[in-house]
C-alpha cells in the first residue's frame, strides 16, 4: 500500500487528500480523523463503523450496476470536505463516539457468512478510512465480493490509483462545475475531483456521477452544461444523477424545485445517454439508447429488469447500454 504521509519542511504532511495537512504531533488534520502520532499519520478510529444497513443498490445511487440487488452498506466518520449543505452531517462532521472496531478480516468473514455478494463504503467519506477500505476491498476481491465506493472523490491521485484496483463501481459527487463553489461551500477544490473521476474511468471502474442541485447556489443551467460536457468528454454512457436538495446542516435554502431538476435533466440529456433525477416524484426508468426499448422500470428504490440479455445488452437490438447485471 502507498505511504500516505511524508516529511516536508520539518513537518509531517498527510498525503491522502488534496488538503495536504501538516498537523503537529498528537494533532488532527482538517478532517478531524487522521492524526500525527510520533511523526506518522494514522487513523486512530480505524475499523470503527458509524452505521450499516442492507440497502437497495438504487439508493447509493447506482442504476446500472447490479440493478435490483441489495448491497451491504457501511459508513464511518468524518470527511475530507466541509460542505455546508451536507446531507449526512451527523456522521461526516463528527468524530466517532462508539469505540467498537472491526478488522477487515472479521468484516469480510461476516459478509461471506451472511452470503452478501456486494459491499458499499458509503454514508460518510470512505476515502478517509483509506487503510481499512483498501485492505477490506482487497480481501473482498479475493473472495468474489463486489465493492462499491460512494465518495466525494477528494483524494490524491496516488492513493486513488492503488485503491481503485480493488473497486468495482463508484458513485462520485460532482458538486459543481465552479471551483469557487468547492472553495466557499466545501472548503476544497474542483480539479482533484475531476482528476479522480478520470482515474476511476480509465481504470474501468463502473462510475456514476451525482450533482446535488441547490437553490441559488449551483442551480444555474450553465453549470449543468459544463458538468455534462465534462462527463461526455469521457463517455456519453456514464449515468448521471441530478438530485434535488433538501435543507440540511448549516444551509437553509428552499428545496430545489422539480421544474429546475426537470430542466437540468433535459439539458444533460442533450449530451448524455442516461440521465436520472433523484429525490423527485417523476419516473427514472432506463431506456435503450439505440432503440428506445424500456430496459429497467424503477419505482423509488425498486428496479424491475426488462428486455435485457444476461450480458446486459438490449434484447431487441443487442446494444450495450453500460448495464452490469452480474
Q: List residues near Zn ion by CB under 5 A.
A: 288, 290-291, 293, 314, 316-317, 319
The SS3 assignment for 306 reads coil
CB of 271 to Zn ion, least distance (A): 20
Q: Among residues 90 and 317, whose Cβ is nearest to Zn ion?
A: 317
Half-sphere exposure in the Cβ direction for 197 (13 Å, CA):
24
Beta bridge partners of 305: 296
Is 164:138 a contact under the CB 8 Å cutoff?
Answer: no
Q: Which residues of 133-142 are buried (b: 16+ CB within 10 A; e: fewer)?
A: bbbbbbbbee
Q: Which residue's CB is nearer to Zn ion, number 87 or number 316?
A: 316
Q: Which is nearer to Zn ion, 118 or 322 (CB)?
A: 322
Q: Which is nearer to Zn ion, 92 or 273 (CB)?
A: 273
**What's the min distance (Å) between Cβ of 290 and Zn ion?**
5
Give the dihedral sign, CA 213/146/306/70: negative
> Per this entry, what is the length of the chain?
326
Nearer to Zn ion, 143 or 306 (CB): 306
CB under 8 Å to 276, separation ≥6 — which residues? Answer: 61, 63, 239, 240, 241, 242, 265, 284
Distance CA 27, CA 90 (A): 22
Amino acid at each position: 500500500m502507498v505511504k500516505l504521509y511524508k516529511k516536508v519542511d520539518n513537518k509531517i504532511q498527510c498525503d491522502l487528500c488534496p488538503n495536504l495537512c501538516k498537523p503537529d504531533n498528537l494533532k488532527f488534520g482538517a478532517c478531524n480523523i487522521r492524526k500525527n502520532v510520533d511523526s506518522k499519520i494514522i487513523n486512530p478510529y480505524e475499523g470503527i463503523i458509524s452505521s450499516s444497513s442492507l440497502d437497495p443498490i438504487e439508493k447509493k445511487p447506482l442504476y446500472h450496476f447490479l440493478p435490483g440487488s441489495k448491497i451491504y452498506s457501511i459508513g464511518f466518520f468524518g470527511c475530507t470536505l466541509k460542505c455546508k449543505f451536507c446531507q449526512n452531517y451527523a456522521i461526516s462532521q463528527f468524530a466517532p463516539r462508539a469505540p467498537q472496531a472491526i478488522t477487515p478480516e472479521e468484516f469480510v468473514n461476516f459478509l461471506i457468512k451472511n452470503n452478501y455478494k456486494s459491499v458499499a463504503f458509503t454514508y460518510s467519506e470512505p476515502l478517509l478510512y483509506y487503510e481499512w477500505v483498501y485492505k477490506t476491498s482487497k480481501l473482498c476481491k479475493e473472495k468474489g465480493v463486489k465493492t462499491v465506493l460512494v465518495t466525494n472523490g477528494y483524494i490524491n491521485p496516488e492513493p486513488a490509483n492503488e485503491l481503485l484496483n480493488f473497486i468495482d463501481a463508484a458513485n462520485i459527487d460532482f458538486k459543481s462545475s465552479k471551483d469557487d463553489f468547492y472553495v466557499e461551500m466545501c472548503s476544497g477544490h474542483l480539479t482533484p475531483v475531476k482528476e479522480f473521476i478520470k482515474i476511476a474511468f480509465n481504470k474501468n471502474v463502473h462510475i456514476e456521477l451525482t450533482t446535488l442541485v441547490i437553490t441559488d447556489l449551483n442551480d444555474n443551467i450553465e453549470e449543468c452544461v459544463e458538468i455534462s460536457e465534462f462527463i461526455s468528454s469521457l463517455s456519453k454512457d456514464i449515468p448521471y444523477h441530478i438530485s434535488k436538495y433538501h435543507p440540511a446542516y448549516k444551509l437553509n435554502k428552499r428545496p430545489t424545485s422539480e421544474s429546475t431538476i426537470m430542466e437540468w435533466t433535459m439539458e444533460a440529456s442533450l449530451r448524455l445517454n442516461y440521465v436520472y433525477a433523484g429525490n423527485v416524484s417523476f419516473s427514472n426508468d432506463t431506456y435503450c439508447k439505440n432503440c428506445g426499448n424500456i430496459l429497467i422500470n424503477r419505482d423509488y428504490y425498486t428496479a424491475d429488469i426488462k428486455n435485457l440479455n444476461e450480458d446486459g445488452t438490449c434484447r431487441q437490438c443487442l446494444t450495450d447500454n453500460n448495464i452490469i447485471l452480474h
